[in-house]
Amino acid sequence: MGEVPESHPRFASLMARKKLVEAAAAGLLADSALIAHGRGEAFDYLLGEDTCEPARRAIEETAARLQCAQKCVISVNGNTVALAGPHLIALAAKLACPIEVNIYYRTPERMDALLSTLHFQREEAAELYPNLVNDISNVEILGAEPNARIPNLEGPRANCHSEGIFSADTILVPLEDGDRCESLIAMGKTVCVIDLNPLSRTARTATVTIVDELSRCVPILIEELMNGSLDPPLLDKWNNEKNLQEVIDVILRRFE
């Protein structure tokens, strides 16, 4: 894809694209993962490639929910690991929670590649967040040996760990699929998702939806938790539908 100068107005977007292309070459991604990334790119373009105000409020709400969870977990897939693996490891370190690999098109090769990539990414996470270095080395990475299933969900994406996704009361799932999001909600969990399409079934089903680009919003989420001055979660007060409408209004203004 050639070298991208840092001064390029779309540097972040082009770097994200580069990471995905490299991850595809390394066997981390399913066939259609690059297409899914492109769909996200289009919505990000409509958002002006910027974290909008309603997204910022959803990030704050997610930070508060993760902080007060009895037991939380971060669920990752190929695109997530490629785009923001190190940041998600740092987030897990800050929350002292596990990361669980859960993918739609599960093959032993992809699972192995993702698990070993996450182990390597600890180093980058420690460089990015030196004050979390000890916690980072303790982050548990699950996914290799699932021993439970998400009810009412077909196929291997239902496989999960009893000590991870299955028993968590709060789950952060970047780039989730709609079916699985519905099944997790049906289990009574608090589901916080990161999804660039405010109209998607995932966005409309989740407890809290952050409509933002993954590698842009996870550092903000970590910063919120680092600052430690979070209000208690608004819980009953959070209106996800209203927040999504505010994101749509941002997009509509961009069209006008």
* 34 part of the interface to a second copy, by CB under 8 A: yes
* 26 part of the interface to a second copy, by CB under 8 A: no
Contact region with a second copy (CB under 8 A), list: 86-94, 169-177, 210-218, 248-256? 248-256
Binders of a second copy among residues 36 to 65 (CB under 8 A) are 36-43, 45
Residue with structure tokens 């209203």?
A: 242
Residue pair 66/225 in contact (Cβ under 8 Å)? The answer is yes
Q: What angle do CA 96, 171, 206 make, to 5 degrees?
A: 150
Which residue number, 146 or 198, has a Cβ lying nearer to a second copy?
A: 198
Q: Which of 91, 157, 80 is closest to 117 using CA atoms?
A: 80
Q: Give the largest Cα separation in the chain, rounded.
A: 51
User: Binding residue for a second copy (CB under 8 A) from 35, 96, 186, 235?
Assistant: 35
Residue 167 CA to chain centroid, in angstroms?
Answer: 19
Q: Is 206 exposed, middle or buried (0-12, 13-18, 19+ CB in 10 A)?
A: buried
Interaction mask 123-162, a second copy, x per CB under 8 A: ----------------------------------------
Least Cβ distance, residue 156 to a second copy (angstroms):
12
Which residue number, 17 or 189, has a Cβ lying nearer to a second copy?
A: 17
* CA distance linking residue 2 with residue 206, whole number of Å: 38
* CA distance linking residue 120 with residue 221, whole number of Å: 22
Interaction mask 175-214, a second copy, x per CB under 8 A: ----------------------x-x---------------
Residues that bind a second copy (CB under 8 A): 1, 17, 20-21, 24, 31-32, 34-43, 45, 197, 199, 248, 251-252, 255
